[in-house]
Amino acid sequence: MQIAIMTDLHLNKQAYKSVMSRNDSLLPFRIVDFMNAFSYMVDECVNKIKPDLVVIGGDVYDTDTPNISVRKFFNDQISKLLKAKIPLIILTGNHDINRKNHALQDLQELKLKTVLVIDKPTITVYKDTQLFLFPYSLEVEQQKIAIKDEFNNFVQEIHAKKDGKPSIFFGHFGVRGAAINEYSEDVDIDVNEDEITNTTTTAVVKKDYKNTNKDDIDCDDLDSIGADYVILGDYHKHQTLNTKKCIAMYAGSIEKTTFSEISQKKGFVVYNSDAESKGKMGKCSFVEYPNCRPMLELKGNFIDFKAAFKKIDYSKYSEAIVKLKFIGTKAEDADLSAGLESFKKEIREKINPVHIDLVKFKVNDEEQIKEEQEATKLENTIMESGHLSNADVIAGAKEEITGRVKDQQEAILTINLADEIYQETVQKMAGE
C-alpha cells in the first residue's frame, strides 16, 4: 500500500499581497506559487505514483477565510483525485481554524464517501493499516484543552484499540527539539562609522531555530504512541526526528514561504508498505518539488551587492524574489541611494525578478540589529503556530511594560493588570 502525505499547503498565502501574478492578474503571485506546487503534486499522484490514499496533514489554507478562487482551485484538485479513484483524508491545521469553525467545514458537510475531513482525534483502518489521525482541533483553538493533554488522551485511546496491524500516526503540531525553521544569522560587524569589515556574502550562515518549549509534545511522547510511523505537519522544514521506537518526520511545506527557508527542499512524502526500510525514513521517500520560487538574498553595502550579484548564475534566479539587506555606514547608505535605481535596472535585465525588497541596518545601530534578530525568531514562531500563544502574548506585554515603566512597583502592578485583562478576554472568547 502507498500513501502520499502532503502538509502545509497554505494555498491562500498572504505574503506580498499587493504584487500580482504575471500569469494571473487576479491573484497575488505567492498564492499562485502555492497553487502551482499543489497542482504539481496532485498530478504526480494521479499520473505517476498512483497511491492508494492521499493524506493532507493540515493547513490547507494560510488563513481560515480563503477567497472563492482559492476554494474553487482546491476543489478542482480534489476532483482530480476523485476521478482517479484516490481517496483523500484531510486533517485540519491551526491556520485552517478560528475559534468558532474551520475553513474545511463546507467540504466536510458534503459527506463525500472518499473525502474525509478530520477535525477531532480519530482512529480508522484503511486496508491493512491502522491510521491514527490527530488534527489541530477546535477544542485546542478555543483553549478548552491543551494540545498535549488532548494528545495524551488520544494515546490512551490508541493503546486501548491497537489491534496489531501496521500503524501510522498523522498529526499537526510542533515537537520539542524539532527545527521550526532556519533563519539568517547576521555577520559580525566591526562597528565603526568610517569603515565596515566582512559584511557581505551570498552564502548566508544558517542555523536551525528549534522548539525548546518544555510543555510541548516531545520525541519520547511520539514513541509512546506505539505506532510504526509518525508523519506530521505544522513545521515547514522536511526533517526526521530523534525518536527511538518509531520512525517520525515532518513532511514539510510544499513551497518556500519566506527567506528563512531559502535553502530548504520542498515536496511531499510517500509511504510504501512494500518498500525496503532504509535509514531514518524507513519505508518513506521524499518527492521533491522542482519548481519552487527562486529567492536571492544579497547582504552588505552597495559595493557588496554589486559584487555578489555578478557572481551568481543568472539562469537559476529567473523571476526570483530578491532581498537586498543593507548593512553599512551613513556614507555607504548615501552611495546606495545614489546607485540603487541603476542597480535595480541591472537586476531586472538579468533575472527579471518578480519583486525586489530593500531593508536597511546601520552598523552603529546595534539595538536595531538585535531587534531584527529577535523579530525573525518571533516571526518563525508565529508562522508555524499560526498565532501567538498565551505565553507569547504575556511575555511580550511584560517586556514592553518593563521597558516603558521605570518604577519597578508600578511596572509590576501594570503587568498584573494586563495579565488579568488578557485572561478575562481569553475566557470570554472561549465561551462564545
90 touches 117 (CB < 8 A): yes
4 touches 270 (CB < 8 A): yes
pLDDT at 188: 30
pLDDT at 26: 86
- Phi, psi (5° rounding) for residue 377? -65, -45
pLDDT tens digits along 324-340: 999 888 889 999 999 99
- Produce one character per residue of 194-212: b if its CB has 16 or more CB atoms within 10 Å, e if not: eebeebbebebebeebebe
Smallest CA-to-CA distance from 325 within 184, 182, 181 is with 184
Residue 246 clears pLDDT 60, i.e. is over it: yes
pLDDT tens digits along 110-119: 999 999 999 9
Output helix, strand, coil percentages for the chain, rounded to the nearest 5: 40, 20, 40
pLDDT at 194: 31
pLDDT tens digits along 188-218: 322 233 333 333 333 344 456 888 888 999 9
Here the cell at position 337 is 541611494
Domain boundaries along the sequence of the chain? 2-177+212-288, 295-385, 390-430
pLDDT at 199: 32
Strands (E), 153-266: 167-172, 179-184, 206-210, 229-233, 239-240, 247-250
Q: Which residue has the higher pLDDT, 185 or 371?
A: 371
pLDDT tens digits along 6-54: 999 999 998 898 999 998 778 999 999 999 999 999 999 999 999 999 9
**Using CA atoms, how far apart are residues 309 and 2, in angstroms rounded to an integer?**
44
CA distances from 304 to 190, 248, 301, 362, 397 (A): 16, 42, 5, 15, 39
Here the cell at position 319 is 523571476
CA distances from 399 to 203, 369, 405, 416 (A): 34, 18, 10, 13
Q: Which residue has the higher pLDDT, 197 or 263?
A: 263
Residue 187 clears pLDDT 50, i.e. is over it: no
Helix or strand run (H / E) with residue 298? strand 295-300
Give whichever of 179-183, 225-229, 262-266, 370-374 has the largest mean pLDDT: 225-229
Q: Which residue has the higher pLDDT, 10 or 382?
A: 10
**pTM value > 0.85:** no
pLDDT (mean) for 166-193: 70
Residue 324: count of CB within 10 angstroms of its CB: 23
How is the beta sheet containing 229-233 ordered, strand by strand? 122-126, 129-134, 167-172, 229-233, 247-250, 239-240
Q: What is the three-class DSSP state of 364?
A: coil
Q: Name the one residue in this structure whose C-alpha cell is 529577535.
A: 374
Residue 373 clears pLDDT 80, i.e. is over it: no
pLDDT at 205: 41
Return mean pLDDT, the chain.
86
pLDDT at 25: 77
Query: Which one is the CATH code of 2-177+212-288: 3.60.21.10, 3.40.640.10, 3.40.50.2000, 3.40.50.300?
Result: 3.60.21.10
The pLDDT confidence band at residue 291, using thresholds 50, 70 and 90, is very high
pLDDT at 204: 40
String of DSSP letters for 68-130: HHHHHHHHHHHHHHHHTT--EEEE--GGGB-SS-BTTHHHHHT--TTEEEE-S-EEEEETTEE
pLDDT at 407: 65
Residue 303 clears pLDDT 70, i.e. is over it: yes
**Using CA atoms, how far apart are residues 15 and 352, in angstroms rounded to an integer?**
19
Q: Cα 348 to the chain's mean position, in Å?
A: 29
**Using CA atoms, how far apart are residues 199 and 1, in angstroms rounded to an integer?**
52
pLDDT at 311: 94
| Degrees, nearest 5: CA angle 168-172-177 | 95
**Using CA atoms, how far apart are residues 147 and 174, in angstroms rounded to an integer?**
10
